Amino acid sequence: MFTGIILGQGKVTAKRPIGTGMIFELMADFHLDNPTEGESIAVNGVCLTARDIRGRGFLVDAAPESLARTNLSDLKVGEMVNLERALRLSDRLGGHLVSGHVDAVTQVLARRSLGDFRVFTFAVPQGLGRYIIAKGSVALDGISLTVCDLNAHHFSVSIIPHSLRTTPMNQYNPGRRVNLELDMIGKYVEKLLTPKETVQGGVVIEPGGRLNQDFLAQHGFIS
């Protein structure tokens, strides 16, 4: 679990295929305090397992599924990526809850300057628009950001000067592919609201239904 608050950047120092997957060698620009072999680390918002940790350097393995669903396959040697170590229960939750499980790859449609800020516009991936809400949270390449404008086809976020200095986003131009993770709360709510039936031995043991105001009142959640 992560927060979308980027800890620092890492440079891709090497990459090589392993079967249909890929091994990336990364060098962080910050010290890995008390590293644990096998700990989770988000690389451009993708939850991966760090191994062979030596100083600031470590390896991560990207499975074929991760390469197919993210922009990891686009990474080149020498390119910078966003890094975040896993959340501890004692940490401040400065962003929002991020799982590191990317929903889709989106694309930068436009960017414009607004004083020292930059406003980026991204495409809404097909079928995922219902999970994006104005003033809601999204993670883009692992960065927790707030949606400031939205319609059926695109959404925009405003990037503060600090993020422009501490992440590679100032280098993002139209056409850039970016990892998108949507707020998991909305997906769980949708799951609970979807009618369902469980059939066992040809018998419906859980009738289809919908979580609604009648249900909430009947069970004492509202009056």
CA–CA gap between residue 41 and residue 60 (Å, rounded):
9
- C-alpha distances in Å from residue 1, one per residue of 58, 96, 116, 142: 20, 10, 31, 11
pLDDT 10s digit of each residue in the chain, 223 long? 999 999 999 999 999 999 999 999 999 999 998 999 999 999 999 999 999 999 999 999 999 999 999 999 999 999 999 999 999 888 888 899 999 999 999 999 999 999 999 999 999 999 999 999 999 999 999 999 999 999 999 999 999 999 999 999 999 999 999 999 999 888 888 877 776 655 555 555 555 555 667 777 787 877 7
Q: Are strands 154-159 and 143-150 parallel, antiparallel or unpaired?
A: antiparallel
- Domains located in the chain, CATH noted: 8-85 (2.40.30.20), 104-187 (2.40.30.20), 190-218 (no CATH)
Q: How much is the pLDDT for 198?
A: 59
Q: Which residues are catalytic?
A: 2, 40, 47, 49, 63, 101, 146
Other Cβ atoms less than 10 A from the Cβ of 93: the count is 12
CA–CA gap between residue 212 and residue 206 (Å, rounded):
17
Q: How much is the pLDDT for 212?
A: 66
Q: How much is the pLDDT for 201?
A: 59
Q: What is the pTM of this model?
A: 0.85
HEC per residue, the chain: CECCCCCEEEEEEEEEEECCEEEEEEEECCCCCCCCCCCEEEECCEEEEEEEEECCEEEEEECHHHHHHCCHHHCCCCCEEEEEECCCCCCCCCCCCECCCCCEEEEEEEEEEECCEEEEEEECCCCCHHHCCCCCEEEECCEEEEEEEECCCEEEEEECHHHHHHCHHHHCCCCCEEEEEECHHHHHHHHHHCCCCEEECCEEEECCCCCCHHHHHHCCCCC
Q: How much is the pLDDT for 142?
A: 97
Note every long-range contact of 143-146, with CB atoms under 8 Å and residues 24 or more positions apart, other chains counting: 143/4, 143/6, 143/45, 143/82, 143/167, 143/169, 144/3, 144/4, 144/5, 144/94, 144/95, 144/96, 144/98, 145/4
Tokens of 171: 């280098």
Q: How much is the pLDDT for 50?
A: 97
